[in-house]
Structure 1
């Protein structure tokens, strides 16, 4: 299988091996790009099952790299919270009436704030642009997500699909964000060190509750909120490859992960949300916006690179 860190803990694997009599080989990935490379380029037959977020899973389905799932072979789906059992309401899991992924882990991208210096907890994503926090804000270094944040700050209908007329306004918002932040991070551990070193007051938490756990373990007194516009959120799902040698065994593995112990370890060790227990950081009324494919990821990242480099709006949008 191909798994993300913490998705196939040693004791979870050992329990499945004892139960099934099978031997499990786990390969760990750390990016969507690596996952795609491992499952394409003639290597798909090397893996039976893998985890991918809903936005990424859609391209595996389009390329016919995954099998539709047999829901009868997944009885533990009944353990999942209602919003995760209703697969049709989640983007990209059901196509042609057939289920292609089983939700397993997720993280919402909320706001982490210093409770000593920020006495009034932020309620909106627009806090990232608040002049009161100038030079005390940390953000994530990614064009795709940041254009979605700009769309939210502008009150646009959807953060994942910008029209041609909306690009200039989004670019202006991100130039303003660049001017307000103290720095951009890429990895959760990097963000913790930067939060301490820069004495930050507010941070966009791309890794959500997992990142919150790391910051608190570092001894920082921080709070966490999901903005009123809704938090961007990734939802990782298990899927079975079209080249799976034993699809029944792959289904059994997925079903095994929906038992209480794997989910407990996912929450306590990784700080991630799971699909069988309520999240300790979400409040009634919080809204999550599950990631979807954006209109043009290459354009978002190319424009973001120009923005970070310090270009003016006219230069950013120039051909």
Structure 2
């Protein structure tokens, strides 16, 4: 319509034809430029749509602002899926014919499990310059079981914590020294336990004095099973997430808790106003070291490596400690546990058997059926 009016104006005003033709040519050039710009924008949007990173992680590892900064820097879209247990992590990694994720955070025992199942891709350390910022013990990758295989690196340490005892100082006047305190009759109905087959069998093995909590024989497993059934008498309930445990602890005035998330849970509880203490039992403590890995199904490996490198930036690592109360691999934690008997968790003798027994324990199956 506007061009019809323009031509009518040209005729009325008797504008020279060459001026009119020049105006038309200018309009055509402008249209061409606009079309080109639209094409570029569509191409950028299409690229952004393809530039998607699928992340599988634990709560607190990929907060919204951390993700947003990564997306802005790399012009990408990050899709984060959170899990609350090693079992859920394994299940998520087995949805469909190929792992539906590009990067994942898992402990060293699970990393070994995934690597053996050919679910992980080797990492190019040259693309991970921030690893040079890490403490020396975390740069010695071959010295940590499960991170390397036949010279290839499959995981980069990210965060870690011991799995000790958390207690209410008002109800437990003297700090407990053993995991066996979880079975103390005085705390009936006031104990919280983490819902995990692997860790419950392992920490109970330590409490019983077994030398290797990750490789148990049939008799030891039977003894531990009975002891875990006995623990049900003291339990308020089982928990999965640290936030869930904190809510139970405060609302129901819990006295003792197996702290699967360790210092992360202590931080949450103190922020909630709870007066809690944290101890590492005399018999030793399990500890997890969570790492970032790239899956064998990663569609954009350059972007996946960029994410792992980004997670090791000082600002991101500092946020992990400030917000979650977890140690990072760039700085020493404020409270050193160097003299404690710490056991990094390892793959267990028969995860299927442990999980089958644990399912029956949690469901309340009667003791005489075991």
Fold conserved between structures, TM > 0.5: yes
Distance 2:60 2:347 in 1: 25
Matched, 1:223 2:269: no
Deviations along 1:157-195, one digit per CA (max 9) or x if unpaired, are: 111111122122212322332233343333323322322
Distance 1:160 1:206 in 2: 16
Distance 1:206 1:197 in 2: 19
TM-score (norm 2): 0.76
Of the three residues 145, 152, 157, the one matched with 2:211 is 157
Equivalent residue runs for 1:261-272 within 5 Å? 261-272=315-326
Distance 2:88 2:184 in 1: 36
Residue of structure 2 equivalent to 1:50: 104
Distance 2:337 2:290 in 1: 21
Equivalent residue runs for 1:1-319 within 5 Å? 1-4=54-57, 5-19=59-73, 21-31=74-84, 32-40=86-94, 41-44=96-99, 47-308=101-362, 309=364, 311-312=366-367, 314-316=368-370
Distance 2:298 2:238 in 1: 40
Preserved CA contact (<8 Å) 1:90 1:290: no
Distance 1:105 1:299 in 2: 29
Distance 2:114 2:278 in 1: 34
Deviations along 1:126-181, one digit per CA (max 9) or x if unpaired, are: 22123443443222233322111211111111111111221222123223322333
Name the SS for the 1:179 alignment partner. Answer: coil
Preserved CA contact (<8 Å) 2:67 2:78: no
Name the SS for the 1:25 alignment partner. Answer: strand
Query: Relative contact order (alpha carbons < 8 A, sep ≥ 6): 1 or 2 greater?
Result: 1
Q: Structure 1 stretch 262-271 or stretch 290-299: which is displaced more? A: 290-299
Residue of structure 1 equivalent to 2:45: none
Per-residue deviation, 1:236 = 1.9
Tell me: CA distance 1:310–1:84, structure 2 relative to 1, closer, same or farther (3 Å): same
Preserved CA contact (<8 Å) 1:112 1:223: yes
Unaligned runs of 5+ in 2: 1-53
Aligned residues: 313
Distance 1:217 1:290 in 2: 28
TM-score (norm 1): 0.87
Distance 2:346 2:296 in 1: 23
Name the SS for the 2:321 alignment partner. Answer: helix
Distance 1:35 1:43 in 2: 14
Preserved CA contact (<8 Å) 2:203 2:285: no
Distance 1:172 1:38 in 2: 31
Preserved CA contact (<8 Å) 2:229 2:361: yes
Per-residue deviation, 1:50 = 2.4
Distance 2:360 2:78 in 1: 42
Distance 1:249 1:16 in 2: 10
Deviations along 1:232-257, one digit per CA (max 9) or x if unpaired, are: 22222111222334433322321222
Distance 1:137 1:35 in 2: 26
Unaligned runs of 5+ in 1: none
Tell me: CA distance 1:37–1:196, structure 2 relative to 1, closer, same or farther (3 Å): closer
